[in-house]
Chain A
């Protein structure tokens, strides 16, 4: 599904070049739950941004759904992001003055889904994160955990194949964090591919595979055996 080969990313700032990715290669199959871990500055967020089509690599190839990022225009990247990818951010990134419903509707505004089918999709996504009662509430008035669940509903509403999560539990208490991870786990069980960036071991423990990053490259590609996954006790 995802094939990354010798991916390089340079940032140029005031004439000096910083290499954030130094030649990363790996493959991810459909239905995997992959955590990208590493200390701050290891390049994990840069990798996630390229994987999620928000940024382009300086060199190397990245193919997803059979399409190479290098062959796609900015508008085509936007279309793929809209149709086949969902995003969950550490800071939720909700429209605080808009309702839960309106926030979840957002990706549909940029899709080809006809208006008549939207309501059904939005309510389904909100139902999946168990926020039906808050549907008309302004997103800014929700608790942190509820906000992240709205963000997950927004990521789900377009029924994407792939979900990206950037430190999804970073701003949450452990209980809310566990709830969010449970939802992501459930989504993975239902067949969605999930790629998340985290520096927290317990968040990564939900994943079936952990890419450990160090200084812009993959230090270790760890497959987590089933019995070691989902240490739910940690959150209870």
Chain B
């Protein structure tokens, strides 16, 4: 039997039982739509995280005080709240002299009450230097960033994140207004551009940036740093810069045994690796759910095809009597199963894509404006392949059963 005739015959078989064909297909439609939606959401989450990590800057090497034992995913003690005072100005100066380092910015952080007229709120402030804005991709929307001469002169100037500016000033212009942070007056010199969430959900819009000198001496009373962020020079790769930074710090801290390092170095690659682990698990989880629903759909197809083979026993006998070979019958029933799953797959792709668009519209408005739309080609290809494979895998058993029927018994079947 020619393939064209087989397809025509299979189509006739399916259209003669329209409702049943449609209901059978439904399992595959839902399965494939789930594959599309869940894979797309997984991809979107991955892109969101990548964008967030890239939004904090490029070629970055973060130095935090305190050693990290164990894997690269372990968090250093300073992050866990332990005060470690080993990262100091001489380290920063040495790093700034290093040719593989394009620029370096120190950071200290604290929380304090910020007040403007009758409005107040608690905010996380960052004390840093002029390089910070470039390194961390912070654009100034209004006003200007402070300079290192402001840092050296202990000038009490501040830049506000757009969120905190709105909270304190509403629609008014904050530039040159005086705010009070931990009781100390600061002149607002700039408002930052909106940046959204950073990696690990860090809010990059709800912050106050002040010169590190003031932050250390007047707000915190310390002389060490919480972080030094280094931007590797474009001429060197980040790994090389990382090794140079490690060598400089060991030399400064007189460390000869690497196991006794009193600092931890992290790159964006590390952040991506941590987050990549999370998204991989998420993707495996989502894909598993989708595939389970596909298997359920496939079993549905097999079930209906088996019933169909029994119901059409006489037809099988007749076809064999008029010249159909076992292969012809196998081909007919297999094509019926494949047509069901492929049609279900196409409808599933359509519905899945539609749900994906709706999910995007909801998530971008409700969850985060940084949510990215993704409809990966791999999901579409996989959906079609899986739909066809489901048809073949779950269709072959009933089709084989049909093909092996004895024509005489089939013709006599009541």
Residue of A nearest to B323 (CB): A82
Q: What per-residue 1/0 map shows which CB atoms of B317-329 lie under 8 Å from chain A?
A: 1111111111110
B327 surroundings in chain A (CB, below 8 A): 75
In the complex, whether B9 has a CB less than 8 A from a CB of chain A is: yes
Complex Cα–Cα for A91 and B407 (A): 15
Given known A-B contacts A49-B408, A109-B1, A110-B1, A87 and B322 have beta carbons under 8 A apart: yes
C-alpha gap A55/B322 in the complex (Å):
14
Cβ-closest chain A residue relative to B321:
A87
Bound-state Cα–Cα, A95 to B408, Å:
17
A109 and B5 contacting across the interface, CB-CB below 8 Å:
yes
**A1–chain B nearest beta-carbon distance, Å:** 20
Residues on A with C-beta less than 8 A from B166 are none
Residue from A49, A78, A87, A89 with most neighbouring chain B CB atoms (10 Å): A78
Which one of B4, B16, B325 contacts A75 once the chains associate, using CB atoms below 8 Å?
B325
Q: Mark B1-34, 1 if CB is under 8 A from A, else 0.
A: 1001100010010001000000000000000000
Interface bits B397-414 vs A (CB < 8 Å: 1, else 0):
000000000011001000
Report if A229 contacts B (CB, 8 A).
no
**Which of A54, A55, A78 contacts B325, CB < 8 Å?**
A78
Given A87-B321, A102-B12, A109-B1, answer yes or no on A74-B326 (Cβ-Cβ < 8 Å).
yes
**Residue A107 is within 8 A (CB to CB) of chain B in the complex:** yes
Assess the A106–B319 pair: CB atoms within 8 A.
yes
- The distance in angstroms between the C-alpha atoms of A83 and B322, with both chains bound, is 9
> Contact between B322 and A110 (Cβ–Cβ < 8 Å)?
yes
Q: Is A201 an interface residue (CB 8 A)?
A: no
Within 8 A of B (CB), among A15-61: 49, 52, 54-55
Chain A CB within 10 Å, residue with most, of B4, B318, B408: B318
* A78 engages B12 (CB within 8 Å): no
- Within B66-80, the residues touching A (CB, 8 Å) are none
Minimal Cβ-Cβ distance residue in B for A114: B2
Shortest CB–CB separation between residue A167 and chain B, in angstroms? Answer: 12
A49 to B412, CA, bound (A): 12
Do A107 and B12 contact each other (CB < 8 Å), given the known contacts A54-B407, A55-B408, A93-B411? Answer: no
State whether B407 touches A106 (Cβ < 8 A): no
- Using Cβ atoms and an 8 Å threshold, which residues of chain A touch B319? 106, 110
What separation, in Å, do the CA atoms of A158 and B324 have in the docked complex? 14
Could you mark each residue 194-206 of chain A with 1 if its beta carbon is under 8 Å from any beta carbon of chain B, else 0? 0000000000000
Task: Please tell me if B139 contacts chain A, counting CB pairs below 8 Å.
Answer: no
- Is A111 touching B12 in the complex (CB atoms < 8 A)? no
Query: Beyond A54-B407, A54-B408, A102-B12, is A107–B323 a contact (Cβ under 8 Å)?
Result: yes
With known contacts A55-B408, A74-B326, A110-B1, A81–B321 Cβ distance under 8 A: yes
Interface presence of B315 (CB below 8 A):
yes
* Alpha-carbon gap, A89 to B410, bound state (A): 13
Shortest distance from the beta carbon of A207 to any chain B beta carbon, whole Å: 22
**Contact among B4, B323, B411 for A78, CB-based, below 8 A:** B323
A70 at interface by CB-CB < 8 Å: no
Q: Which of A74, A75, A102, A154 contacts B322 (CB 8 A)?
A: A154
Residues of B within 8 A of A83 (CB): 323
Residues of A145-189 contacting chain B, CB below 8 A: 154, 158
Q: Say yes or no for B314: interface residue by CB 8 A criterion.
A: yes
A141 CB–B CB distance under 8 Å: no
Nearest B residue to A111 via CB reads: B323
Distance between Cα atoms of A81 and B321 in the complex (Å): 7
A89-B411, A109-B9, A110-B1 known; A78 vs B314 contact (CB < 8 Å): no
Give chain A interface residues in 70-112, CB to chain B under 8 Å: 74-75, 78-79, 81-83, 87, 89, 93, 95, 97-98, 102, 106-107, 109-111
Does A93 contact B314, Cβ atoms closer than 8 Å? yes
A110 touches B323 (CB 8 A): yes
A209 to chain B, nearest CB (A): 24
Residues of the B chain whose Cβ atoms lie less than 8 Å from the Cβ of A110: 1, 319, 322-325, 328
Q: Please give, as numbers and ranges, the residues of chain B lying within 8 Å of A75 by CB-CB distance.
A: 325-327
Q: Shortest beta-carbon distance, B16 to chain A, in Å?
A: 4
Within 8 A of A (CB), among B120-179: none
Which residues, 103 to 130 on A, are CB-close (under 8 Å) to B?
106-107, 109-111, 115
Residues of chain B with a CB closer than 8 A to A154's CB: 322
Q: Considering only CB atoms, which chain B residue lies closest to A46 in the complex?
A: B408
Chain A residues within an 8 Å CB radius of B323? 78-79, 81-83, 107, 110-111, 158
Residue numbers in B under 8 Å from A115 (CB-CB):
4
Contact B9 A78 (CB under 8 A): no
Tell me the complex Cα distance, A78–B317, Å. 12
Please name all residues of chain A whose beta carbon is closer than 8 Å to the beta carbon of B5 when the two chains form the complex: 109
Name 8 A/B residue pairs within 8 A (Cβ), A-sorted. A52-B321, A54-B407, A82-B323, A93-B317, A93-B318, A93-B321, A110-B322, A158-B323
Sample of 6 more A-B contacts, CB < 8 Å, known A82-B322, A110-B323, A154-B322: A75-B327, A78-B324, A81-B323, A95-B315, A107-B323, A109-B5
Chain A interface residues (CB < 8 Å from chain B): 49, 52, 54-55, 74-75, 78-79, 81-83, 87, 89, 93, 95, 97-98, 102, 106-107, 109-111, 115, 154, 158
Q: Which 7 A-B pairs have the closest CB atoms?
A: A82-B323, A110-B323, A107-B322, A97-B16, A93-B318, A78-B325, A109-B5
